[in-house]
Amino acid sequence: MSPDVTDAAGTPTESAFGVAVAQFAPGDDAAANLAEITRLAELAASRGAGLVVFPEYSSYFTPQPDASWLAASEPVDGPFARALAALADRLDVHLVAGMIERVEGERRVSNTVVAVAPAAGVVATYRKLHLYDAFGQQESEWVAPGAVEEPETFVAGGLRFGLQTCYDARFPEVTRRIVDAGADVVCMPAEWVRGPLKEAHWRVLTTARALENTVFVAAADHAPPIGAGNSMIVDPMGVELATIGESTDVAVAWVSAARIAAVRRVNPALRLRRFGVVPR
């Protein structure tokens, strides 16, 4: 049972919803990746999570993109998503994870996030908009950017969830559009590559996206040595509710509409803003 959220007087106001981030280091063995996803999802569910966010490229990953990504790519309704859906049904939890999606007629793949719900299968998808052509990397060589479309959201635990990916965190307009679509919680699978100051960037940007939009952000990164780790759940006031560090593990935090409403009463930034977001 989820804990109660209380007001300043200690009076219960509603039940909160358990959200987990699951941190691991996906590799080039798809079966092993699914086995680790299963283990971590079971662990998160046992700790009370009703939704678990896994990293970017959870289905398949190599440190450098190459032709093997094409061979490992799948449609959104392929084996990886079906396995997630079966796991969601068995555990009665929502799952969010990054995968390599096949793009018909393209020599590149799509960096895609899928959300699956119990007894419903895939309920939302997101294709990474901003590719990691930075810090010496060239993701666009093997990955096609997603089209700018209306954000897809889904409901779990009485809250609305949206999706974005990794490098998108450096572009605040992405999160703002998701929040404008009604999201209370933004799920952000990532493969945040380690490097000078990169961990600091990860913490600042993830926190900023939560704080400026007064929403929860659940950001799941790869575990080291390739990823920076530090998967975290940040609340609408910019507080890190849970952080994993560098290990393979899950962390659970309790999110609620009551907390969002309380923060927005004292910080009505969304209501006071004078600019919108217009796609280029």
Would you please indicate which residues are annotated as catalytic (active-site) residues?
A: 56, 128, 166
Q: What number of CA atoms fall less than 13 Å from residue 165's CA on the CB side?
A: 27
Burial 215-249 (b: 16+ CB within 10 A, else e): bbbbbbbbbbebbbbbbbbbbbebebbbbbebebb
Pair 86, 34: CB distance under 8 Å? no
Closest CA to 234 of 187, 268, 195: 187
Q: Can you tell me the distance from the alpha carbon of 96 to that of 179, in angstroms, rounded to the nearest whole number? A: 18
The greatest distance separating any two alpha carbons of the chain, rounded to the nearest whole angstrom, comes to 60
In this structure, are strands 249-255 and 240-243 parallel, antiparallel, or unpaired?
unpaired
| φ, ψ dihedrals at 246, nearest 5° | -110, 0
Closest CA to 242 of 258, 223, 256, 255: 255
Rounded to 5 degrees, φ, ψ at 156 are -150, 135
